Structure 1
Amino acid sequence: MTTALLVIDVQQGLCEGEHAAFESQQVIARINQVSAKARAAGGLVVFIQHESSSGYLEFGTDAWQLARGLHIEVPDILIRKTTPDSFHRTDLEQVLKKHGVTELVVCGMHTEYCVDTTTRRALALGFPVALVGDAHTSEGNRHLSAAQVIQHHNETLANISSFGPRVRVVSAEALRVEP
């Protein structure tokens, strides 16, 4: 299998300030651990950035930039998106096919939006997914804490079987990326 790591929306505006995601600095450290494993195994590392045409996460603003502390290397690929689905109106699927990718590792922000939507779309496109259960996060909401959102999605996504390919939840420490 050829593996690609998708690092979704780990951007400055989601990691700092009043609306910083839960444990964002610890999540960034785990993402760096996972991306090092992917690169060492010859896997593709793809950083995906959400953007809007105005306001929050506007293209080119400080909030839109990839988060401080996130390790990005020259061969890594950057993809811009405008919806919670990293495949919708982007060239992500074509990039993955060009590189012969057959399996995805997913991490990033926000769990209940872009991580969830992209994971489900990946399954629909035929990609098995390793969801790094301790390397995605959320701000939470008025009904659920961020930790509850993360736990709920780890369980829910791992139990979806109707697409054929499955999600397996793995910790950053336990993740193995085969060359």
Structure 2
Amino acid sequence: MKTAVLVIDMQQGLCEGEGKAFDCEGVIERINRVTRKARRAGAPVIFVQHESTAGYLEYETPAWQFATGLKVEAGDIRVRKATPDSFLRTNLEAVLKQHCVESIVLCGMHTEFCVDTTTRRALALGYPVTLVEDAHTSAGNAALTPQQVIAHHNATLTNISSFGSRASAVSTDGLEIAV
């Protein structure tokens, strides 16, 4: 089963300042390990970037750029999006079909928004998802710490069975990528 790695919204504006996501440096390091495994296996690596038309995460602003330390290579694929759903009004599904992808490894941020929505949409489209349990992050919210958000989604997303396709959670060290 051919696999692709999706790295969602690992952008500088989400890794700095007051609203900085939890453990960005560690998550970036783990994502770099995941993408290195993918490239060695010959799996497509797809970086998804969120953008707004004005203000925060505006296209080509410093905040919109990939996070400092994130390793993006020339052969990697880039997808631009404007909603929490990486598939909605983007070419992501066409890219996956073009590369004959049958399953997805997913990491990035923010766990409770774009990681959650993209995981559910991928499952609805029939793609099994491997959520890299230690390579997605959140800034938390008024009710939950970032660690609680991450743990909640690792448990919740892997318990969804109604789509047919399932999500599983695995650590960066435990991840094996098949093509």
TM (norm. structure 2) is: 0.99
Residue 19 of structure 1 and its aligned partner are, at CA, apart by 1.2
The CA RMSD over aligned residues, in Å, is 0.5
Q: Secondary structure at the match of 1:54?
A: coil
Match for residue 4 of structure 1? Answer: 4
Q: How many residues align?
A: 179
Q: What residue is the counterpart of 1:52 in the other structure?
A: 52
Distance in 2 between the 1:52 and 1:137 partners? Answer: 21
The letter for the 2-side match of 1:79 is V
Q: Give 1:74 deviation, angstroms.
A: 1.2
Q: Which amino acid aligns with 1:163?
A: F
For 1:25-57, what per-residue CA distance to the aligned partner results, in whole angstroms no more than 9, with x for missing partners? 000000000000011101000000000001110
Aligned positions of 1:161-176 closer than 5 A: 161-176=161-176
- Output one character per residue of 1:70-126: Cα deviation in whole Å (capped at 9) or x when no partner: 001111001100000000000000000000000000000000000000000000000
Counterpart of 2:159? 159
Which structure 1 residue ranges, 4+ long, deviate > 6 Å from structure 2? none
Residue 122 of structure 2 corresponds to which residue in structure 1?
122
CA distance in 1 between counterparts of 2:81 and 2:177 reads 26
For 2:76, the equivalent position in structure 1 comes to 76
Q: Which amino acid in 2 is paired with 1:120?
A: R
Alignment correspondent of 1:38: 38
The whole-number CA distance in structure 2 between the counterparts of 1:17 and 1:77 is: 28
Instruction: Report the secondary structure of 1:46's partner residue.
Output: strand
User: Hey, what's the Cα distance between the residues in 2 that align with 1:31 and 1:63?
Assistant: 19
Matched, 1:20 2:20: yes
The AA in structure 2 aligned to 1:85 is D
Q: How does 1:77-156 map to 2 (within 5 A)?
A: 77-156=77-156
Matched residue SS, 1:119: helix
TM-score between the two structures when normalised by the length of structure 1: 0.99
Partner of 2:148, secondary structure, is: helix
Deviation of 1:17 after TM superposition, in Å, equals: 1.6
CA offset at residue 161 of structure 1? 0.1
Aligned to 1:39, the other structure's residue is in SS state: helix
Rounded to whole Å, the distance in 2 between the matches of 1:164 and 1:38 is 25
